[in-house]
Chains A and B, each alone.
Chain A
Amino acid sequence: MENILIIFVILILAKVLGEFFERIGFSSILGEIFAGIILSLFLLSQDPETFSFLAELGAIFLLFTAGYKEVHLQELRSASKKAIIPTITQILLAFSSGFILGLIFNFQILESLFMAVAFSATSIGVLVKILIDYNYLSSKPGSLMLTSAIFDDIAGIFMLSIVVTVAELQHLPSFSQILTIFAKLAFFMLSMAVLGLKIYPKLFDYIHKMHIKESIFSFVIIIALFSAYFAEAFELHAVIGAFVGGIILSRIPIAKIEDVQSKVSGLSYGMFTPLFFAYIGFTVDLSVLETTSLFTVLVVVMALFGKLVGGFIGSKIVGLDSSDSLIFGIGVMPRAGIELVVITVGRNRGIIGDEIYSAIVLMVIVSIIVSPMLLKFAINAKEKSSFTSSSNP
């Protein structure tokens, strides 16, 4: 009964607070994280085992849905070439900021690597509304941001695969171990590609003929869970499998019809991902945030600046002017997805401690609040300067 009560309370808090934050212009993820924080203040005595299991499912469904619904590589093909350089520079700078910061504060290399990967992701969804409001979605920096954010997801998953496998070794890998890691990853990808191209289409042809209720939806979920489990068999993390499984299923017409998409979305956003984000809030060590150490402040500042500067430099290289480059740099600042999965994996495996975990959660919260404000400011500044230059010939 207590477990049911916990889930009931978390979901209702997450949805109510999520609604509140979305209505005042921020991501509903903030509300879900705060729901977890509130719960941790009132229900400290509860055993979070069920909660942590559901949160793990939440992380799996978060990344499965991202792969299944959001990775439109074909549609973004035209913007892809131009987005490669800014994506590399912004990831490189954010990654280096995280890694160097970790080393400066005497964290171990593995901890610093996890922090670096957590610094590298982007969640563009937080800013899309502002881009639309300002008619910037189809602008050069707008389309670059979207493409770059999707590349970020893929790069983030790839980096997570590497650091999780390295974490299993508990030490820095030798050259032969690095080769083994890449071989496992390549073999996993190859197996998934064979399943996606040869097996699943035929399987879904049969599933489609089944008489039982919700056969297609059920098999989509079964494949999501199988992909997660299959990745673990390759000593990769379950979320990596879920993400790749999502991308593969998104290419199978019968698995992607609107009705099935809507049910997958309902299960994910209506149930599991709010539990994941609430779990993040629940497990934050508030004392770390209360003291706001120099480390916490630097995590927030460096993570945001790493993206801003990296994005700015990269978009300047591909020919955007300074204002658009600034807009792009700000656009890739928000985090609200993969990095939280990264730190949860790191924490569950005992690699990162409460200090890094809580500082990164704070960084995510700050990035969700600050990025929309900065983006509005940058766009307004650009509009103002364009207006001034056009009125003073």
Chain B
Amino acid sequence: MSKMNKIKGKFFTGSNNSKTGEDKPSMSNRCQRIGINDIIKKDIVTLSEGDLIEDIINVFTKHRFHTYPVINDKGNLTGVITQNLILKIILLDIMPQTDHTDLAVKSLSNDAKGIMDPHPVTVNLDSNLCDVAKLMVKHNVNQVFAVDNGRLVGIVSKLDVINEISKIRG
């Protein structure tokens, strides 16, 4: 029985529509056979909930990724901080006024926990390549986070997915 699609803690997980036993090796069939464990990157740069805004900016300038996961002291994924979000916080005064109250409250916190978007798109470890690709397109995100009972295990980027699909296309 798949553990997929169950809300785990603060985040939600992807869907698993794996159908086995189909004769025709369609593209979707082949991508469903590739488990997320085969594609996730486990060596990832993370932010801690207590990291201050200056530390976060340093991480962005040093590593050049688009999104960083925020983890608590138990290693659980609690949120994400994207380039967009950090720019909005730093340049709050030039953002549209309708966003000011929301961003102002976030910026008051001054640490990763207060700033982060606490609703990351995640998948469980029994997801497959198709699930991940579908989630990325559906939620318009460039990466999803793999979690095991809430604990952050790895990350899959859109580029990883495209590379893998390119391989199975031959």
Contact = CB atoms under 8 A, between A and B. Distances in A.
A253 interface: yes
B5 A209 contact: yes
B48 to A, nearest CB: 18
A83 to B, nearest CB: 12
Nearest to B11: A253
A258 B11 CA distance: 13
Contacts of B141: 258-259
Interface size class of B (residues with CB under 8 A): 20 to 34
B5 A208 contact: yes
Interface string B103-125: 11111111000100111010000
The 4 closest A-B pairs by CB, nearest first: A128-B100, A132-B93, A253-B119, A259-B140
B118 A253 contact: yes
Nearest to B122: A253
Interface in A89-132: 124-126, 128-129, 131-132
Interface of A: 22, 27-28, 69-70, 72, 75-76, 79, 124-126, 128-129, 131-133, 137-138, 142-143, 146, 149-150, 201, 204-205, 208-209, 253-254, 256-259, 265, 269
Interface string B76-100: 0000001010000000110011111
Given A146-B105, A208-B12, A253-B10, A132 B92 contact: yes
Contact of A125 (B98, B110, B119): B98
Contacts of B121: 257
Given A205-B6, A253-B12, A257-B139, A137 B104 contact: yes
Contacts of A126: 97
Contacts of A70: 101-102, 105
Nearest to A72: B105
B128 interface: no
Given A205-B6, A205-B12, A208-B5, A75 B101 contact: no
A27 B7 contact: no
B123 to A, nearest CB: 12
A6 to B, nearest CB: 23
A143 B108 contact: yes
A131 B109 contact: no
A377 B6 CA distance: 54
A126 B84 CA distance: 23
Contacts of B97: 22, 27-28, 125-126, 128-129
A138 B108 contact: yes
